[in-house]
C-alpha cells in the first residue's frame, strides 16, 4: 500500500461462519451482523494497523471520550448482488467524502481514501455470501469513527477507532407512514452539525419522535429552528413534496444532510423532464396545497429505505391524508434507482462501483 508499512491491510478470517443460523427471509433491519468487520486505530497522530477481522465486541475504557463528549460519526451504504453474482456499491465515494466532512466538523482526523476502499472491498469479499441476490436484498454497510482516548477533560481526543460493520437487509418497509410538522423541537440550528452524520444528531431526535408517535405519527418533518416556518428533513431522511407535477425539496445547508439518494433523485428527475425546485419550502405552502388538493405526494429519501412514501401529515391540530397516485413519483424513482443499483439498467451517471474479487 502506498501509504507505508503502518497502513498495510491485515486480514484475519473467522474460523467459522454464523450465516447458516440466519433466517434471511425474516430479517429485522440492522439486528444481524456478518462474520467480519474492519478496524483501524488512530494513535500518535496517524492512522495505523488497518485490519479485517472476525466481528466481535470492543474493549474500551469507561473514560473513553466518545461516552462523554460524543465524538462519533457514521455513514450508511449498501452493497447489491446482481444476477451474475457480481457485487456493486452505489456512489460510495460520496459516502466516503461525507464521512470525512462529518469527521472534520467534530475535530476527528480524516480517514485515508485508499485504506477505506481497500478495507471495504476486502471485507465485502470475505462476507460475499451474506449479500443475497434478488430485487430488494442487500447488505447494509455502516462505517463509523469513535473517540477512544481515555480521559474526561473537555477537549478533542487524540485516539480514535474507525470501523466498518455489515448487516444483511431485505426490502425496507415500515408500513404506512404519517408525519407531523415540527412546531417546537428542532433537529439542527444554523452553525451546528446538522449537515454531518454525527451520532448525537440522531439521539436528539428520539424524544420528540416518541411524542409524535403518541399522537399517532411515525415520524417528524423538521422545520427551521428560527421560525418553524420552513420544512427541512423527515426523521433520518431528506424530504420531497410533489405539488401538481412539480417536485420541491429544501436546499442543503449547515442544518440539512447532503443525502446521496436525494442528489440521485434530483438528477433522475432532471434527466426525465420532471421539474424540481430546490428551494425553501414553507409549511404554509404545503398546507395550502393539501387543502386545495394540489399536494400529490410526500416522500423521504435515504439509504435504508431508498424512497419512503408518506401517507399523511399533521400540523397545528389538523390532519391531512394523501391519495395514492397511479403515476407515483416515489415508486418511479425507487424503481429507477434500484434498477441501477442491481445492475439491471444502464448507469448513465457512473454511480455503480464494482467490488473486485
Residue 10 has pLDDT above 80, yes or no: yes
On the question of pLDDT at 92 being above 80, the answer is: yes
Q: Are 287 and 239 part of one and the same domain?
A: yes
Residue 327, domain member (yes or no): yes
CATH code at 47?
3.30.470.10
Task: Enumerate residues 6+ apart whose C-beta is below 8 A from 101.
Answer: 195, 196
Give the residue from 118, 146, 169 where a domain finishes. 169
Is the pLDDT reported for residue 173 higher than 80? Answer: no
Examine the domain organization and report whether 224 and 131 are in the same domain.
no
Confidence of residue 349 (pLDDT cuts 50, 70, 90): very high
Interval 120-136 mean pLDDT: 97
Give CB contacts under 8 A, 24+ apart, made by 100-104. 101/195, 101/196, 102/73, 102/74, 102/75, 102/193, 102/196, 102/197, 102/198, 103/73, 103/145
Asked whether residue 353 is assigned to any structural domain, the reply reads no
Total structural domains in the chain? 2
Instruction: Say whether pLDDT at 171 is over 90.
Output: no
Q: Which CATH number covers residue 241?
A: 3.20.10.10
Average pLDDT over residues 265-294: 98
Q: Are residues 233 and 294 part of one domain? A: yes
Of the residues 115, 150, 169, which one is the last residue of a structural domain? 169
Residues 85, 108 within the same domain: yes
- Note whether 16 and 142 are same-domain residues: yes
**Do the domain assignments include residue 122?**
yes
Percent residues over pLDDT 90 in the chain: 94
| 63 part of a folded domain | yes
Which of 217, 186, 180, 183 lies closest to 314, judged by CA? 180
Same domain, 194 and 79: no
Question: Average of pLDDT values for 149-161?
Answer: 97
Per-residue model confidence (pLDDT) at position 7: 86
173 or 292, greater pLDDT: 292
Mind listing the pLDDT tens digit for each residue in 179-210?
999 999 999 999 999 999 999 999 999 999 99
Average pLDDT over residues 327-337: 97
**DSSP-H helix ranges across 106-205:** 113-126, 199-203
Cα separation of the two ends of the chain: 18
Which residues face 241 on adjacent strands? Answer: 248, 298
Q: What angle do CA 59, 113, 141 make, to 5 degrees?
A: 55
- Of residues 246, 231, 248, 237, the one with CA closest to residue 301: 237
Structural domain for 164, as ranges: 5-169
Q: Do 262 and 197 have their domain in common?
A: yes
Q: Tell me: the pLDDT tens digits for 52-64?
A: 999 999 999 999 9
- 323 and 244 housed in the same domain: yes
Q: Residue 281 falls within a domain, yes or no?
A: yes
Residues 49 and 144 in one domain: yes
Residues 266 and 236 placed together within one structural domain of the fold:
yes
Q: Quick one: 296 and 255 in the same domain?
A: yes
Residue 108 falls inside a structural domain: yes
Residues 326-350 as b or e (16 or more Cβ within 10 Å = b): eebbbbbbbbbbbebbbbeeeeeee
Indicate the length of the chain as a whole number: 357
Residue 2 reports pLDDT greater than 60: no
Asked if residue 236 and residue 216 are part of one domain, the reply reads yes
> Has residue 318 been placed in a domain?
yes
- pLDDT at residue 182, as a whole number: 97
Is residue 286 assigned to a domain?
yes
pLDDT > 70 in the chain, percent = 98
How do residues 131-143 score in pLDDT, each as one tens digit?
Answer: 999 999 999 999 9
Amino acid at each position: 500500500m502506498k501509504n507505508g508499512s503502518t497502513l498495510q491491510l491485515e486480514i484475519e478470517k473467522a474460523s467459522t461462519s454464523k450465516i447458516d443460523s440466519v433466517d434471511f427471509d425474516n430479517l429485522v433491519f440492522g439486528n444481524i451482523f456478518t462474520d467480519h468487520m474492519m478496524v483501524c486505530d488512530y494513535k500518535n497522530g496517524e492512522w495505523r494497523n488497518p485490519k479485517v477481522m472476525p466481528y466481535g465486541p470492543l474493549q474500551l475504557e469507561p473514560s473513553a471520550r466518545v461516552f462523554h463528549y460524543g465524538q462519533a460519526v457514521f455513514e450508511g451504504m449498501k452493497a447489491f448482488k446482481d444476477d451474475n453474482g457480481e457485487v456493486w456499491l452505489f456512489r460510495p465515494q460520496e459516502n466516503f467524502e461525507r464521512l470525512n466532512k462529518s469527521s472534520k466538523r467534530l475535530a476527528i482526523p480524516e480517514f485515508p481514501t485508499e485504506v477505506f476502499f481497500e478495507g471495504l472491498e476486502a471485507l465485502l469479499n470475505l462476507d460475499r455470501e451474506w449479500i443475497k441476490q434478488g430485487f430488494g436484498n442487500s447488505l447494509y454497510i455502516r462505517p463509523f469513527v469513535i473517540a477512544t482516548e481515555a480521559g474526561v477533560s473537555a477537549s478533542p481526543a487524540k485516539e480514535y477507532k474507525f470501523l466498518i460493520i455489515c448487516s444483511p437487509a431485505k426490502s425496507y418497509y415500515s408500513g404506512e407512514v404519517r408525519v407531523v410538522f415540527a412546531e417546537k423541537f428542532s433537529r439542527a440550528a444554523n452553525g451546528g452539525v446538522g449537515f454531518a452524520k454525527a451520532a448525537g444528531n440522531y439521539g436528539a431526535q428520539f424524544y420528540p419522535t416518541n411524542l409524535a408517535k403518541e399522537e399517532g405519527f411515525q415520524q417528524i418533518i423538521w422545520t427551521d429552528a428560527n421560525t418553524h416556518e420552513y420544512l427541512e428533513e423527515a426523521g433520518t431522511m431528506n424530504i420531497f413534496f410533489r405539488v401538481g407535477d412539480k417536485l420541491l425539496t429544501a436546499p442543503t445547508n449547515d442544518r440539512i444532510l447532503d443525502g446521496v439518494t436525494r442528489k440521485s433523485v434530483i438528477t433522475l428527475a432532471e434527466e426525465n423532464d420532471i421539474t424540481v425546485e430546490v428551494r425553501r419550502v414553507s409549511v404554509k405552502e404545503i398546507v395550502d396545497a393539501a387543502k386545495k388538493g394540489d399536494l400529490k405526494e410526500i416522500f423521504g429519501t435515504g439509504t435504508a429505505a431508498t424512497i419512503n412514501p408518506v401517507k399523511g401529515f399533521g400540523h397545528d391540530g389538523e390532519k391531512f391524508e394523501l391519495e395514492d397516485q397511479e403515476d407515483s413519483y416515489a415508486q418511479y424513482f425507487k424503481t429507477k434507482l434500484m434498477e441501477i443499483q442491481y445492475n439491471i439498467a444502464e448507469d448513465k451517471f457512473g454511480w455503480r462501483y464494482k467490488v473486485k474479487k
